[in-house]
Amino acid sequence: MAKRHRKLMNQMNVVPYIDVMLVLLVIFMVTAPMLNPGVVELPSVGKSSQVPIRPLEVIIKASGDYAYVDREKSKATRVIGWGELLAIVTKKQESNPNQPVLISADKSVRYERVMDMMDVLQKMNVERVGLMVTPKE
């Protein structure tokens, strides 16, 4: 008997891969219309009915004095005492509860004094308190 020599096959059969790919394609084509696309509700921009309120600026000076600037009336700084400052803030909050208050302190003022001012404003139910800073050039 003669020996048969088998030849090595050097080609790859890709038919099973094509079958799997077609099945996946059909699955995706059937399920894609069933998926609900996410709806994104974008905010709309319109004119505000309210005029923006200019903040009341409370200044803590390095000397320990208090001052304030009412930007609605003028840009002039007025040095006042602690009691008068509290009275002004209370009066402003009664007339407009959304009146923002900015705290501006000299860089040599202890942080504790700024925190005390924030604490007093919080006890006075001031909702909008900010810290004013000077940007570096």
Domains in the chain, CATH or no CATH each:
56-131 (3.30.420.270)
**What pLDDT is attached to residue 21?**
95
**What pLDDT is attached to residue 71?**
75
- Residue 68: partners with Cβ closer than 8 Å, 6 or more residues away: 56, 57, 58, 59, 77, 78, 80, 85, 88
Whole-number Å distance between alpha carbons of 132 and 121: 15
Average pLDDT over residues 53-79: 84
Q: What is the pLDDT of residues 95-133, one digit of tens each?
A: 888 888 889 888 888 889 989 999 998 998 888 888 887
Q: What percentage of the chain has pLDDT greater than the value 70?
A: 92
**What pLDDT is attached to residue 1?**
60
Distances in Å between the alpha carbon of 3 and those of 6, 7, 10? 10, 13, 22
- 3-class SS letters over the chain: CCCCCCCCCCCCCCHHHHHHHHHHHHHHHHHHHHCCCCCCCCCCCCCCCCCCCCCEEEEECCCCCEEEEECCCCCCCEEECHHHHHHHHHHHHHHCCCCCEEEEECCCCCHHHHHHHHHHHHHCCCCCEEECCCCCC
Q: What is the pLDDT of residues 14-29, one digit of tens each?
A: 888 999 999 999 999 9
Nearest to 125 by CA among 98, 85, 87, 103: 98
Average pLDDT over residues 65-74: 82
| Cross-strand bridge partners of residue 56 | 70, 101
Split at pLDDT 50, 70, 90, the class of 48 is low
Q: What percentage of the chain has pLDDT greater than the value 90?
A: 12
| Mean per-residue pLDDT of the chain | 84
Q: What is the pLDDT of residues 87-103, one digit of tens each?
A: 988 898 888 888 888 89
Which single residue is written with the structure tokens 């009066």? 91
